[in-house]
Amino acid sequence: MPNREAPAYEFEALGGSNNVYAFVSINDVGYEVRFKPSGYLLPDPVLSDYVYEMVIDLVYNPFTPELPPVDERISTTIALIVHDFFQVRERGMIYICDDSDSRAYARKRLFDRWYNQHIKVGARFTRYEFPIEIDDDGTVYFAALICRLDNPYQVEMYMAFRRLALGEK
């Protein structure tokens, strides 16, 4: 289970085609965590219904143009959302660090810390990391695949993710 040092915010599972979860922080900052069906990333017909890309969006920021203040409860809340999403053990989640603002490395460090503090605890999940080149311009992204240890498709997901990273079909 996730580390409970910082209490989580209440969140709402809105569902829909992108499996949306939403919450608001104590600073009135609104977030959405989406798990977008992304079978196209691992184009294996067996896996296509179980592969999702996690997207974390800041949907309302009263501090604009500044970033909202650091809030440890956000990482705990996202961890609980991930645990809720993974109630279906066959699911795999891909996280790609956005680099549109040249901050991919900072996002990767934050993601690593979050994973080690909240998801890795209890050793119920496993994570595979590969750099991935998915744009025609040669940009390389940090990417990770997370799945439950009891996922019956874990090996297939790993192999498909590895092929994606190596640029194989």
For residue 133, pLDDT over 90 is answered with no
What pLDDT digit, counting tens, does each position of 31-88 carry? 999 999 999 888 888 999 999 999 999 999 999 999 999 999 999 999 899 999 999 9
Closest CA to 142 of 168, 113, 106: 106
Worst-scoring range by mean pLDDT, 42-46, 122-126, 142-146, 151-155? 122-126
What pLDDT digit, counting tens, does each position of 99-131 carry? 778 788 888 888 888 888 877 666 688 999 988
How do 92-96 and 51-60 pair as beta strands? parallel
Please name the residues in contact with 65: beta carbons below 8 A apart, sequence gap of 6 or more. Answer: none
pLDDT of residue 69: 94
The separation between the first and the last C-alpha atoms of the chain, rounded to the nearest angstrom, is: 36
Domains for the chain: give ranges and CATH numbers. Answer: 12-166 (3.40.630)
Helices (H), 45-90: 72-85
